[in-house]
Structure 1
Amino acid sequence: MMALIEFERLLKQAMGLSAATIGEVTLERALQERQQACGLPDLQAYWDRLQSSTAELQELIEALVVPETWFFRHGEAFSALVEVARKGTLRTVPGTPLRLLSLPCATGEEPYSMAMALLDAGFSAGQFHIDAVDISQRALGKARAACYGKHSFRSRDLGFRERYFEATGHGYRLIEPVRRLVQFRQGNLFSPLSFPQAASYELIFCRNLLIYFDRPTQEQAIAVLGQLLAPHGLLFVGHAETSLLTSQGFVPAQLSRAFAFHKAERTEQPPWPAPARTTRAAPAKPLLPPPPRQAAASRPASPPPSRPVPSPGLPRQAETELDAASRLADQGQFAAAARLCLAHLDTHGPSARVFHLLGLVNDASGDAAEAASFYRKALYLDPEHGEALIHLALLLEKQGHMDSAQRLHARARRLKSRTGG
């Protein structure tokens, strides 16, 4: 029987995807569906088809990348976009249009939200330009059609729908003047052909993409994003990706509840890098139901007063449970992620990893006090938990506790220097 690892290697080469992030069951299901759709007897025959058909490889990618997005998802990021755009400090050349990039753009809700946010803030169409890139041809087809059903409208305030959409028999269609503001293309983060010549963007939204890569690919992706980012630009990422940016030399911007970063060194834009090994972009985000609007998870019973001795490693079952909780958090299902974490605590007891994850969940849900409490618990169990150090420092910065935040950043830098991480 054809080994699954061969398909995993092919997908890693084609799109950067680390199969571990989606799970073997998901991959096996997609392979079986495509094998049957091609009328082939077994996986070996399907493997042979993949080797000779770029069209079928694209079909397999389409089966794996199901976008999960909606208009003004995590609205704080769009408020921050408007805030920094109004200041006028991002442009490399004063007076030129602001350049924005959405990657992956999925079915278009994110880049169209960028456009509507800027229009509502008083910007004219000639004052900004938006590029939107995704690997999925199907998603881009839906984005260009710009006709959306109720699942694309999940924010509390739907006033934008009245201003910018026309009701149809199948949902709501974005009006043509707004559609013209976004330029869609199928592309790849790792190929210069995906972007205009010498592209340089003042604002890049690349949220919850890096989580689907392994560490070497993450570092490669961040390097390319840094070269696409203008000298004074901002890069927006998902909440679970913040430590990746800080570990690669990016500096957090002081924007409330928006995970935005700028370059540590404000130098001239470097030339376009040599093409990387991979030739396709990473997948859009997996399809999951929207997170229920619930209060942030309450903390479990306090840990014992004496510091537990960290175990050499959690049982594999416990690791799998936390992996699932982490994926739910990355996809915005904070209440579900918190429930898994609390169940894990009941079964396996306290650990730095589960407390750190609960900190992330509460942080993203807006409960800063509870988030800080969980980050501190993680550091109580593991004083050298680098991500907990950084996330607690970022949280304290947002609250104005600069001295405490600087001390934590210093600890994180010493840890990185000592471990080489």
Structure 2
Amino acid sequence: MNPASPQAIDAAIRALSAEIGLDPSAIGPGSIRQAVADRMAEAGIGDGSEYAELVGRSPDEREALVELVVVPESWFFRDRLPFVFLSEAVAGPFRSRTGVEPLRILSLPCAGGEEPYSIAITLCDAGVPADRFQIDAVDVSARQLERARRGVYRPVSFRGGDHSFLRRHFEPDGDGFAIVPPLRESIRWERGNILDPAIADRPPYDVVFCRNLLIYLTPEAKRAAMGAIGRLVAPGGWLVVGHAEPLLVDPSRFEPAGRPGAFAFRRRLEGALVSAIRPIPAAGRRLDSKPIGGNPPRSPASPGDSAPGLGPSSSPVRPVPEGIEPESESEITTLANRREWGPALERAGRLVRQRPNDAAAHVLLGSIAQAIGRLDEAEASFRRAGFLDPRCVEALLALAALAELRGDRTAAENYRRRAARFRAGEEIA
């Protein structure tokens, strides 16, 4: 039997999904096939069914498999702006407070340590002494954690133009650089993952960096991870995610920090009824559904689709029959803020029936459906909104996030590129 047989690969996929919530489509079948072949060769197993049995019963084998499929690539100050945000919005206010407990920060996954060390350097450079913060760094890879504990990095870990921090926080070590002891001692390293109850149920943190993890998880694991994150970030604390993950953040628990490029969110204070849905037009104002260049609007997802009866002269609002109360966007949004999802979804459905050609109504319905995990319905609503208003940035970004969830990164990037063009005031050619 072929060492990388379907039976062996299926067993590996089940093991990886159970152990760390990994979605195999996020890393590609070739990566898993190669990992299985490597593990079978290492174990001296030539039969796929024998390996399937081994990976099903052996925790050590599952751990070895995890080591081969994790994506450890990182570097110091990756994306830069999240660390600027940490310095300005977190370290600055904390530095001015007296008599408070040390700042607690979680970095998960921490890979080889570049991110938690970048956090420590940022805080020190912002005037927060190493004894005034504690960083917990967690990763599923024992190999990467050992590298992080050593704290020695080669030039590939230092990208970008400004390396002045090397002189302040590193010492030469052969052909690399070693982090200085005070910073190394400010970090506690731990093996685990976001789905571990021991991780999710610990006391909450002031700041959680959880970047570029959610995009690799199955839908079920994403929901579990966001539930854990909701517990791990203290009310009023901060969450920082990866650039492709903002729409995966629970809007009923977190509000955007409003810092472009930081991908940071603040944990809502209990009882705070701030809009949990992306901003929608104020009462009485509609999204402009005029066609571009004189042509009827085209769906951003299916350029060849058409909607019978919809054209430049179509009215965006269907008259509400006499005796039926028109639905209110603000009341529906309030229900969503309170997490009263059933009534919010029902009334949003009525809203789009009353206003079938109003893109804002479809965005609102899609946002609620997305918040409760009804992703197919959410995507249909966002597609409809995009058809009605091809310039609808909210619909395009939501469709990008949903495409990312499916593993269709080409479509996701296309949506994001179009959204960026409209934000910049450009038009479709």
TM-score range, shorter chain: 0.5 to 0.7
In 2 relative to 1, CA 36–386 (structure 1 residues): closer, same or farther, beyond 3 Å?
same
Contact 1:379-1:385 within 8 A present in 2 as well: no
The aligned runs of 1:66-81 (5 Å cut-off) are 66-81=71-86
Tell whether the 8 Å contact from 2:142 to 2:191 is kept in structure 1 after alignment.
Answer: yes
* CA 47–6 in structure 1, closer or farther in 2 if over 3 Å, else same: closer
Once the two structures are TM-superposed, the CA of residue 126 in structure 1 deviates from its matched residue by 1.8
1:310 is matched with 299
- The CA deviation at 1:380 is 3.9
Matched residue type, 1:211:
I
CA distance in 1, matches of 2:12, 2:225: 22
How do 1:125-164 residues align onto structure 2 when only pairs under 5 Å count? 125-164=130-169
CA shift for structure 1 position 265: 3.8
Q: CA deviation at 1:311?
A: 8.4
Task: Show the counterpart of 1:44.
Answer: 49
Aligned residues: 298
Larger Rg: 2
Greater shift after overlay, 155-164 or 102-111?
Answer: 155-164
Looking at structure 2, the residues matched to 26 and 192 of structure 1 have their Cα atoms a distance apart, in angstroms, of 28
Instruction: Indicate the residue corresponding to 1:262 in structure 2.
Output: 266
Contact map agreement 2:297 2:388 (CA 8 A) in 1: no
Q: Distance in 2 between matches of 1:264 and 1:45?
A: 50
1:21-420, aligned counterparts within 5 Å? 21-88=26-93, 95-194=100-199, 198-247=202-251, 249-266=253-270, 305-307=294-296, 309-310=298-299, 380-381=389-390, 386=395, 388=397
Supply the RMSD in Å over aligned alpha carbons.
3.2
Q: Deviations over 1:204-258 (max 9, x none)?
A: 1001110011223212111100101011100000121111115554210122421
Q: 1:419 maps to which residue? A: none
Question: Taking CA–CA contacts closer than 8 Å with sequence separation of 6 or more, which of the two structures ends up with the larger relative contact order?
Answer: 1
Q: Aligned partners of 1:18 and 1:230: how far apart in 2?
A: 28
- 1:210 partner amino acid: L
Residue 108 of structure 1: how far off its partner (Å): 0.3
| TM-score calculated relative to the size of structure 1 | 0.64
User: Residues 386, 377 of structure 1: CA spacing in aligned structure 2 closer, same or farther, 3 A cutoff?
Assistant: closer
Letter in structure 2 aligned against 1:254: G
- Contact 1:219–1:248 (CA under 8 A) maintained in structure 2: no
Q: Which residue identity lines up with residue 106 of structure 2 in the other structure?
A: L
CA contact (8 A) 1:233 1:262 kept: yes
Deviations 1:103-162 (A, max 9, x none): 000000000011011111111122111000000000000000011001100021101111
The separation in 2 between residues aligned to 1:14 and 1:256, in whole angstroms, is 34
Any conservation in 1 of the 2:87–2:123 contact (CA below 8 Å)? yes
Runs of 5+ unmatched residues, structure 2: 273-291, 305-384, 401-422, 424-429
Question: Offset at 1:190?
Answer: 1.7
What does the per-residue CA deviation read over 1:6-39, in whole Å, with 9 as the maximum and x for residues that have no partner? 3322211111001111111111111111111111
Q: Distance in 1 between matches of 2:242 and 2:62?
A: 28
- The answer to whether the 8 A contact 2:105-2:205 is kept is yes
- Seen in structure 2, the aligned counterparts of structure 1 residues 200 and 312 have a Cα distance that, compared at 3 Å, is closer
2:15–2:56: 8 Å Cα contact kept in structure 1? no
Give deviations 1:31-66, integer Å, cap 9, x for gaps: 111111111112212112212321111111001013
Which blocks of at least 5 consecutive residues in structure 1 are unaligned?
269-302, 316-375, 392-404, 406-421
Higher mean alpha-carbon deviation, 41-50 vs 54-63, is at: 41-50
Instruction: Tell me the SS of whatever aligns to 1:14.
Output: helix
* Percent identity for Structure 1 against Structure 2: 35
Q: Tell me how far apart the structure 2 counterparts of residues 311 and 70 of structure 1 sit (CA, whole Å).
A: 35
SS of 1:88's equivalent in the other structure is helix
TM-score scaled by length of structure 2 = 0.63
- Code of the aligned partner of 1:126: D
Contact 1:98 1:129 in 2 (8 A): yes
Q: Distance in 2 between matches of 1:200 and 1:35?
A: 41
